[in-house]
Amino acid sequence: MATRTATPDDQPFDFNLDTVEPAVELRDFRVHFGGRRWTLKNVNLLNAWSIVAVAQSGDLEATVGSLKLALGDQWEAFQKVDMPQWKITRLFRAWREHSGNPDAGESSASSDS
């Protein structure tokens, strides 16, 4: 088997991921709930590896895990407000639509029915 040799960083490359720009505006998503304003980081700004980690737990856990990542230090207070399951799925869908990803993560956990 042939061994791979490392190419120095100053050599040409095929794709420069450092220069890629987002296709949509990455504004935060603001929500009024439980008598106060909450700010969720745009879905597209969340760390991809963190999303993969929470997605391995199942649909509802992935939804909640993603919201926890997006809310950051607001999460502890946010989860103290009673929330029916149907509202969390509506919140998740609206947040994804705001971020330009309306179909991503769609599953039985994000259904209104």
Helix (H) or strand (E) holding 38: strand 36-40
What's the predicted TM-score (pTM) here?
0.74
Q: Is the sign of the CA dihedral 95, 97, 101, 102 positive or negative?
A: positive
For 17-67, write each residue's pLDDT tens digit.
Answer: 999 998 888 999 999 999 999 999 999 999 999 989 988 888 888 888 999
Domain ranges of the chain: 28-107
Which pLDDT score, from 0 to 100, does residue 2 have?
A: 62
Q: Which residues are bridge partners to 32 per DSSP?
A: 37
